[in-house]
Chain A
Amino acid sequence: MATIATDESAVLIIGSGAGGGTMAYELTKAGIPCVMLEAGSHLTHDDYVNDEWEAFTHMAWLDPRTTSGSWQVATDFSGLPAWTVKAVGGTTTHWAGATPRFRDYEFKALSTYGAVEGATLLDWPISLGELAPYYDRAEKAMGSTHRHGRPPLPANNNYKVFANGAERVGYKLYATGPYATNAEPYDGRPGSIQDGFNFQGDKHQSKWSTLVREIPRALETGRLDLRPQSHAVQITHDASGRVDAVLYVDADGNLHRQAAKVVCVAGNSIESARLLLLSASSMFPNGLANSSDQVGRNYMRHLTGSVYARFDKSVHMFRGETMAGIIADEARHDPSRGFVGGYYLETLSLGPAFLSSFIEPGAWGARLTDMMDAYANIAGLWIVGEDMPQTTNRITLSATARDQWDLPVANVHFDDHANDVAMRTYAYKKAEVLYKSVGAIETRRTPPYPSTHNLGTCRMSERPEDGVVDRWGRAHDVPNLFVSDGSVMTTGAAANPTLTIVALAIRQAEYLAEQLKTGNI
């Protein structure tokens, strides 16, 4: 590991997840020293526990946040709008592993769907064709099954129910991937032992994360100065408006300053937006890089919802890779279904500890125990689809609530768009029909969990007035400030976002390295 002096102007990366971790590896590999600030601690596979609540308590981002709006999460989990990770490797240590690419039309949402009332749809400034070579590199890095010669994972029990149902209702595009967990040894990591607990950190290390791949390799270059428990609280700038340093807080609440020649913000969409808002100054009164007033707006969280089905025979859905089952037939734009955009169905399993809390928040009595008693006979799936960007769905700084550092917490405001509601209702019905076709006795519609896909708060736009960053993720207002996570997404598409975040980061790192080399930054 490198040690970079605090007064040495470094390339500084904030966050170590899919975006930040990838940036660190790509840049250090290209010979560029980097400082990485990670708010959480450096947990590794030995620290992880196969226990849902215990893992949640020591991995999840639990700093206080507030919620508002009509979304059900604000009612069911008012202090927990999102379920992300605060640790080295970020939310890649908790993600399930599904890696579908965004589809061509999803980069052209406004052109394809037309104007949708109440939605702030926009075409991305880049196309699928432009991102395709980076998707290839990301899939190889992550070891996506079904891609580049990587074999598929076998069918687990939950998938058997899911895929048979898919076949019976006429779906064709079902498979056990693409999924970034090794079916056989690859890239120095072992094949899956079907140990489940995909959301609790992977003790076996067969699942890709920046913790097991990009960060150790970046450290091996000798050019990465990784600083865990270093929570960035403000980005400062010089008189010309270029960023020049980041202030951060250590585990004991002491303030530090690291000089920077470039800053890459990758704190996940809620914290990235919050950090820019916390960095307001007399030159940037609405927050750094926010002359457009778009920082924090167009927050997206994917449609989401689950259906759990009870059978009269055993399933044991928890055995094996949690999300190694994907149906892509509904991931298309077909307005005859009553909504724009599309969605995926993906296998999902929760243990009794989580299922009892999430299946129907607040439920008790026979309503709850009828399902819990049948735990071994339950199959489950997740609905993940494109939600509409809306200008009022927004991250702001709370006027009243403060965090452990006495700084304003993020308030997450969200209202479902009518298109979101129509798609969710349609998808619930489809999932119910799927499970009934293979003999389900009863199905339950589970409302959205706290958001795991947090997108869009610093969106990419061709014109500076429409968004926060340009086609490279470079801030329209600040030439040496980049955003390197899912907050750059102009629209959310239907697919799980991690693969796209990694592809965008590989592309951004290549661009940034070139700009540094040619002195254009």
Chain B
Amino acid sequence: MEEIGMAISGPLSKEVITIGTSVEERKLLVRMLRVMYPHSRFPDGPYERTADAVIAAGNTTPGQALTFAAGLRELQAASFGDLDDAAATTYLEGMAGSPFFALVHGRAVVALYNDHEVWELLGYEGPSFDKGGYLNRGFNDLDWLPDPRITELDRG
């Protein structure tokens, strides 16, 4: 396969690059995501999976990849990885209107909160139909308020 690919692309290109996949870049991205979505009780797994989703989104077109690469370079230049939480948050606030930030947030907010480990951490139980719904699994187990009326009163 590689030989065929090289034969077609000839001297113009020997390999395809994917932005954000180096160990340092991915680590930087994971750090950025932790600062953007600071859940102290979340382990690294969800952030790492979200980073991979962002990397995929950042490479969908050459245009996106350029935006993505420029943003990562900016983070590197600012030594973002060395900033403490408060300084990192302030740094991202300054970046919030940029296309890079929009690219990261747009994909990450969906990927992170659609992660099943995150659902479990947040107490969301996910698909219910296969488990018989919540009829016998607590749909009405709230006990810190009285049971309210469910029928209608006349408007009068």
Contact = CB atoms under 8 A, between A and B. Distances in A.
Given A156-B134, A357-B113, 8 more contacts: A152-B151, A155-B147, A163-B150, A177-B152, A315-B142, A352-B122, A353-B114, A366-B38
Given A160-B140, A192-B133, A356-B113, A51 B127 contact: yes
B70 interface: no
Contacts of B149: 163, 167, 174-175
B137 A50 contact: no
Contacts of B138: 157, 316, 319
B145 A154 contact: no
How many B residues touch the partner, as a band?
35 or more
How many A residues touch the partner, as a band?
35 or more
A353 B105 CA distance: 13
Interface in B92-139: 92, 96, 105, 109-110, 112-114, 118-119, 122-130, 132-135, 137-139
B151 A175 contact: yes
A348 to B, nearest CB: 16
Interface of B: 35-39, 41, 89, 92, 96, 105, 109-110, 112-114, 118-119, 122-130, 132-135, 137-142, 144-153, 155
Interface in A163-191: 163-164, 166-167, 172-177
9 contacts: A157-B138, A159-B148, A160-B145, A174-B149, A194-B139, A319-B139, A364-B37, A365-B89, A373-B39
A356 B124 CA distance: 13
A139 to B, nearest CB: 13
A32 interface: no
Given A164-B148, A194-B139, A365-B38, A356 B109 contact: yes
B114 A53 contact: yes
A177 B128 CA distance: 22
A376 B123 contact: yes
A29 interface: no
Given A328-B155, A369-B39, A376-B123, A352 B118 contact: yes
Contact of A203 (B36, B109, B129, B146): B129
Interface string A192-203: 111111000001
A353 B115 CA distance: 8
Given A320-B134, A375-B123, A172 B150 contact: no
Contacts of B123: 314, 316, 375-376
A155 B37 contact: no
Contacts of A154: 139-140, 150
A146 B149 CA distance: 13
Of listed A146, A315, A318, residue having the most chain B CB within 10 A: A318
A280 interface: no
A316 B125 CA distance: 9
A185 to B, nearest CB: 14
B39 A50 contact: no
A128 interface: no
